[in-house]
Amino acid sequence: MEVYLDNAATTKPKKTVIEAVVKAMEENYGNPSSLHRKGVEVEKSIKNARKLIAKTLGCKDQEFYFTSGGTESNNIAIRGIAEANHRAGKHIVTTKIEHPSVLNTFKDLEGRGYEVTYLDIDSGGFISLEKLEASIREDTILVSIMHVNNEVGSIQPIQEIGRLIKGKNSKTLFHVDAIQSFGKIKFILSNLEVDTMAISGHKVHGPKGIGGLYVKKGIKIKPIVTGGGHEMGLRAGTENVPGILGFAEAVRIIMEEQDQQIKQMKFLKSYFIEKIQGEIKDVVIHSGTEESFAPHIINMSFMGTKSEVLLHSLEGDGIYVSSGSACSSKKKGYSHVLSAMKIKEALIDSSLRISVSDTNTKDEIDYAVTQIKKQVELLRKIMR
Ligand SMILES: Cc1ncc(COP(=O)(O)O)c(C=O)c1O
């Protein structure tokens, strides 16, 4: 049996997404910039894709740009805002639990003369709104806060945060990394005081190498990739047509099935937690089932085990999980997220992340729990 429980790292493309990608490669292979019919047709299909994703996000078509993925969207927003607004100030704010595509961009800007405030996190994975408010100054040009954390699933209250930022300094711009929340948490962009927002295709059963960036009308961003003026001048380069059309198909499915998808993820998460706690002793769960946690991520520690060993034992059983953030888990060292939450080293060492999708089933969870129990008990015996 193969059970894929690493959906925060990436998701399996849905069948109709694959069909849309193949169709784009076989039929819609024209260059959208070409003046002939083959190009114009593709241009039209990109326009429709943009319209559909913008509608799902709750923004205008002209406010949504295609990029190569979440990492690039975060870079365009953060670097672009910093560069376009540095005359107004050089203070920028983020949190200690951001994805490396945000954290390393801030580190780079720090090296280029920007002053950075890295906000602390509490033991549950949440920022302090009071500390955020206190951090905003006259010269703060940007605050970047992730919506859902990819390792533990904590949700930062972006509606409240947006209001708070603008209340303190109406000129401070607010960027949100919504790569783990898009599709899993319902929101309407026009109701939020957010200036830029990053999303990614492969986290929502779309293709890899495609993403998007919302930029509120009127916000100044200096492009980091220059060229032929594609994507309304923000991101040059011939469009990734198969990626865009596959992404649009993934979003179309979300639009139609989101309520059911969220319900299934919530069910699987609660069922997994209840079962794992009932079956295995000395498990510490780092992701709650409350509304302040995303429906798809469960981070937990199996005391007396080593997560990497456990991960590979489970792989042998056909179960795919993660020992932290997929993008950083190959590097040595402790998870920066769990460390920021002040979780003890022994617990970080034994922490495993499982992340579900609406395509997972109860039977898969039953199988996964049985195998996790077997492997944890074996490992505890060996390590004793
Ligand atoms: C919170 C978060 N931000 C950004 C990214 C990067 O997205 P992409 O893989 O599309 O570059 C990820 C991917 O793991 C993520 O989880």
Q: Residues 260-312: pLDDT tens digits?
A: 999 999 999 999 999 999 999 999 999 989 999 999 999 999 999 999 999 99
Residue-by-residue DSSP string for 130-142: HHHHHH--TTEEE
- Atom 16 of ligand 1: nearest residue by CA position: 150
Q: How far is the CA of 111 from the centre of ligand 1 (A)?
A: 23
For β-strands 3-4 and 319-320, DSSP reports them as parallel
3-state secondary structure of 364: helix
Fold of the domain built from segment(s) 15-252: Aspartate Aminotransferase; domain 2 (3.40.640)
- For 120-158, what is each residue's pLDDT tens digit? 999 999 999 999 999 999 999 999 999 999 999 999 999
- Please report, rounded to a whole number, the percentage of residues in the chain having pLDDT higher than 70: 98
Nearest residue to 81 via CA among 92, 67, 70, 69: 92
> How far apart are the C-alpha atoms of 212 and 334, rounded to whole Å?
30
- Point out the ligand 1 atom lying closest to the alpha carbon of residue 325: 14
Tell me how far the alpha carbon of residue 378 lies from the centroid of ligand 1, in angstroms.
34
Mutate to test the pocket of ligand 1, among 6, 149, 150, 182 (most ligand atoms within 8 A of CB): 150
Q: Which amino acid is at 2?
A: E
- CA of 384 relative to ligand 1 center, distance in Å: 37
| Protein residue with its CA nearest to atom 5 in ligand 1 | 70
How is residue 356 written in tokens?
């579900």
Mean pLDDT of the chain: 96
Where does the pLDDT of residue 334 fall: very low under 50, low under 70, confident under 90, or very high at 90 and above? confident
To test ligand 1's pocket by mutation, which of 68, 96, 101, 329 has the most ligand atoms within 8 angstroms of CB?
101
327 a catalytic residue: yes
**CA proximity to 141, closest of 115, 111, 164, 163:** 115
Nearest in space to 186 (alpha carbons), one of 253, 124, 132, 254 = 254
Q: Are 175 and 156 in contact (CB under 8 A)?
A: no
| CB-defined site of ligand 1, < 6 Å | 69-71, 99, 101, 146, 150, 177, 179-180, 200, 202, 211, 326-327
Does pLDDT of 118 surpass 90? yes
pLDDT score, position 330: 53
Give the percent of the chain with pLDDT over 90.
96
Question: Residue 245 and residue 22: Cα distance in Å, rounded?
Answer: 10
Catalytic residue among 224, 225, 309, 327: 327
User: How many whole angstroms separate alpha carbon 356 and alpha carbon 369?
Assistant: 13
How confident is the model over 337-357, as a mean pLDDT? Answer: 95
Probe ligand 1: pick from 10, 179, 199, 329, max atoms within 8 Å of CB? 179
**Beta strand 211-215 pairing with 283-285:** unpaired
Quote the ligand 1 centre to 183 CA distance (angstroms).
14
Query: 0.85 exceeded by the pTM?
Result: yes
Q: Which atom of ligand 1 is nearest to the CA of 72?
A: 11
Strands 297-302 and 283-285: antiparallel
* Smallest CA separation from ligand 1 atom 8, residue: 70
CATH fourth-level superfamily of 3-11+258-382: Aspartate Aminotransferase, domain 1 (3.90.1150.10)
Distance from the CA of 228 to the center of ligand 1, in angstroms? 27
Q: Which of 71, 96, 148, 184 to mutate to test the pocket of ligand 1 (most atoms within 8 A of CB)?
A: 71
Cβ atoms within 10 Å of 346's Cβ, excluding its own? 12
Predicted confidence at residue 384, as pLDDT, reads 83
Tell how far the Cα of 144 is from the centroid of ligand 1, in angstroms: 14
324 Cα: distance to centroid of ligand 1 (angstroms): 13
Domain extents for the chain? 3-11+258-382, 15-252
Residue whose CA is closest, atom 9 of ligand 1?
70
Query: What CA–CA distance (Å, rounded) separates 143 from 156?
Result: 13
Which residues does 217 contact at the CB level (< 8 Å), separation at least 6? Answer: 60, 62, 63
Q: What is the pLDDT of residues 20-53, one digit of tens each?
A: 999 999 999 999 999 999 999 999 999 999 999 9
**Cα–Cα dist 161/276, whole Å:** 34
Using CA atoms, how far apart are residues 236 and 288, in angstroms rounded to an integer?
A: 42
The pLDDT of 100-115, averaged and rounded, is 98
Q: Is the pLDDT of residue 325 over 90?
A: no
> How high is the pLDDT of residue 185?
98
* Weakest-pLDDT range from 228-242, 318-332, 350-364, 369-383: 318-332
Residue 328 has pLDDT above 70, yes or no: no
Task: Kindly list the distances between the CA atom of residue 214 and the CA atoms of 32, 102, 129, 142, 234, in Å, as whole numbers in the listed order.
Answer: 21, 16, 24, 15, 11
Of 90, 97, 5, 103, the closest CA to residue 319 belongs to 5
Report the atom number in ligand 1 closest to the C-alpha of 326: 14
